[in-house]
Amino acid sequence: MKSIWKAHLAAFLANVIYGANYSIAKEVMPRFFQPYGLIVFRVSGAILLFALLFWGKTEQIQKKDIPRFALCGLLGVACNQLLFFKGLSLSTPIEAAIILTANPVLVLIAAALIAKEKITSTKALGILFGLCGALVLILQRKSSPELESTFVGNLMILLNAAFYAVYLVIIRPLIQRYRPSTVMLFVFLFGLIPIIPIGASEVMAIQWESVPAWAFGGLAFIIVGATFLAYILNAFALASMSASVVSIYIYIQPFLAALIAIAWGKDELDFSKIISAALVFTGVWLTSRPAKKAVLN
C-alpha cells in the first residue's frame, strides 16, 4: 500500500475513533465518571503514554516560549476538554458532533483576528452559514424547561470549539520551532495544571466498587484510543498529507457519530439536526473553497 493511501487510512481511522468516542464517553459519564474527573484521567493518562513513547526525544523549550506553551495548554487542553466533556454529558452525541464541525469556520475567524488573515466575501458567507447551523441546535433546545440542560451543553460545546480554534492558530509558531513530540508533551503538561484542582473532587467521589468492567474499558478507550492513538494516527497522516487535507476528515464525524449512536440506541436523528448539519456543511464548503486567482490580461 502506497504511503499516501496509508495516510488517508490513518486519518479516516482517527475520525472513526472520534466518532465512536461521543457515544462511549456519553455512556460512562455521568453514570460512573463525572466529566471533570474523567478529564483528569484522560490528560494524565495521555501524558504518561506520550512520555513513554517519546522518552529521550523531546527538546528543551526556551524560556520565551513558556507563556505560549502555557496558553496553548490552557486553551487547547484544559478549556477544550473540560467544556467538551461537560457539554457532552448534557447534550447528545449527534448534536455535539454537528456543532464541532463548525470548528474550521471558527479557525478562520480566529486566524483573521489573531494572525490578520484575510476573509473573503465567500468565506464570510460560509462563516454565517456555519454559525447559523450551530445556533439552530443550541437555541431550539431552550424551547422548554426540560431541554434547558441540553441548551447549556450545546453552548459549552460551541465554546469548546472556539477555544480550540484559537489554540490551533497560536500553536503554529511552536510547531514550526519544535518537534511535535516536544510540543505535545509540554502542552499537555501545562494543560493538566488547571485540570487537577477542578477535577480532583470528582475523582475522589468515584465509587470504584460500583464501576463495572465495561466502564473501565470505556475509560481505557478514551485515554488510549481517543487521545493517544488518535493523535498518533493524525501525526502519521500529517507526515504525508497537508494539514488542510487531514482536517477534511473531521467532516465525517457527525455521520459516524450518528450511525454509532443510533445503532446503540443512544440518540436519534430529527429534522432540526438535519437542517443544522446542512447549514454547517454548507458553511464549511464555502470557507474551504480556494480563493480565485486574478486573471492577467
pLDDT in tens, 111-132: 777 766 676 777 677 667 766 7
Closest by Cα among 129, 192, 131 to 161? 131
Q: Which residues are within 8 A (CB) of 181 and not within 5 positions of it... i.e. 6 or more apart? A: 50, 53, 54, 57, 58
Is 167:75 a contact under the CB 8 Å cutoff? yes
Q: What is the pLDDT of residues 219-275, one digit of tens each?
A: 999 999 988 888 778 777 766 765 555 666 676 676 677 777 777 666 666 776 677
Question: d(Cα 102, Cα 125) in Å, to the nearest integer?
Answer: 13
Residue 141 confidence (pLDDT):
54
* Residue spans of alpha helices (H) in 29-147: 35-53, 66-73, 80-90, 93-100, 103-114, 121-140
Length of the chain: 297
The pLDDT of residue 41 is 92
Give the pLDDT mean for 28-54. Answer: 88
Q: Residue ranges of the domains in the chain? A: 3-288
185 and 54 Cβ atoms separated by less than 8 Å: yes
pLDDT at 199: 92
Q: Does 293 have pLDDT greater than 70?
A: no
- DSSP assignment letter at 248: H
- pLDDT-derived band at 8 (thresholds 50, 70, 90) equals confident
Q: The C-alpha cell of 62 is what?
A: 526556551
Across the chain, which distance is largest between two alpha carbons, in Å? Answer: 76
pLDDT at position 214, please?
92
